[in-house]
């Protein structure tokens, strides 16, 4: 079954910019998939539509079979999103941030506390649980964004340019973390404009340019063509 199934997706923004010109894309359950393309190609728009932050113009999107038009709540439950920018309340503590997030998804507080221990430990942030997020290093903030996205235990994790502006050491650390997460069964989709990042991590890749998917293939066969 597909974690994500996109059919003929189009987006024209109000100003008239055609950001997506008929995208077809399928990501299998368990996959680690990269959406690669230059700035302005339509990566964030695609992710925005899948996570229902952006309205589509036409086409269809299914997440683990749930159509975002008819089953939005269930579709959203399947997805954890790690946006590009830090968007937590930096005056809250690390643990408050992840526990509150679970609350938005209807996870009971007791269970949220149990999960916060699990995911903060996994992200190497448990020792920092009582620290206000503003005091964390950049790397810790990135890990916090991921831990927060995992709190409702989504089957699909989507990361928008997860390592943009991140130094090489931290980038390696994040790659390792994401690899383990994928190995434990979470389907992962990330957007990037670094081929190297896609190459290091992903099994399959879609290349998007000017709102069109110009390539959709396995990483192996892409690399053999270069
Ligand atoms: P990417 O994530 O690949 O950099 P985007 O999806 O952000 O690309 O952008 C695709 C196109 O849509 C670009 O031309 C961008 O300027 C335009 N765009 C993105 N968001 C908006 C918006 N809210 N309003 C109008 N145009 C937008
Ligand atoms: P939607 O159609 O999904 O509701 P909008 O078209 O309302 O999205 O986007 C909101 C506004 O954000 C746009 O009118 C635009 O002025 C602005 N905007 C945000 N990002 C961009 C971008 N990358 N390029 C152009 N405009 C942008």
pLDDT tens column, 108-142: 999 999 999 999 999 999 999 999 999 999 889 99
Per-residue pLDDT reduced to its tens digit, 68-104? 999 999 999 999 999 989 999 999 999 999 999 999 9
Atom of ligand 1 nearest to the CA of 46: 6
- Closest atom, ligand 1, to C-alpha of 17: 26
Beta bridge partners of 208: 213
For residue 57, the Cα-to-chain-centroid distance in whole angstroms is: 22
Task: State the pTM of this model.
Answer: 0.89
Nearest CA to ligand 2 atom 3: 54
DSSP string, 147-167: HHHHTT--SEEEEESTTTT--
Q: How far is CA 211 from CA 17, 34, 166, in A?
A: 10, 16, 26
Instruction: With beta carbons less than 8 A apart as the criterion, state whether 206 and 216 touch.
Output: yes
Ligand 1 test: best mutation among 9, 15, 19, most atoms within 8 Å of CB?
Answer: 19
């Amino acid at each position: 079954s597909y974690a994500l199934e996109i059919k003929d997706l189009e987006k024209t923004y109000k100003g008239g910019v055609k950001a997506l010109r008929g995208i077809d894309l399928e990501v299998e359950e368990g996959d680690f998939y990269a959406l690669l393309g230059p700035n302005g190609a339509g990566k964030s728009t695609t992710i925005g539509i899948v996570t229902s932050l952006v309205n589509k113009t036409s086409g269809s999107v299914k997440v683990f079979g749930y159509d975002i038009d008819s089953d939005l709540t269930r579709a959203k439950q399947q997805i954890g999103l790690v946006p590009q920018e830090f968007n937590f309340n930096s005056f809250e503590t690390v643990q408050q941030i992840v526990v509150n997030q679970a609350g938005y998804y209807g996870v009971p507080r007791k269970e949220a506390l149990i999960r916060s221990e699990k995911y903060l430990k996994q992200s190497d942030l448990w020792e920092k649980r009582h620290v206000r997020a503003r005091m964390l290093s950049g790397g810790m903030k990135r890990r916090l964004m991921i831990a927060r996205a995992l709190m409702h235990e989504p089957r699909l994790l989507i990361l928008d340019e997860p390592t943009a502006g991140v130094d090489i050491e931290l980038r390696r650390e994040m790659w390792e973390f994401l690899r383990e997460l994928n190995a434990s069964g979470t389907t992962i989709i990330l957007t990037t404009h670094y081929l190297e990042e896609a190459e290091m991590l992903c099994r399959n890749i879609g290349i998007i340019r000017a709102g069109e998917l110009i390539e959709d293939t396995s990483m192996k066969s892409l690399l053999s063509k270069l």
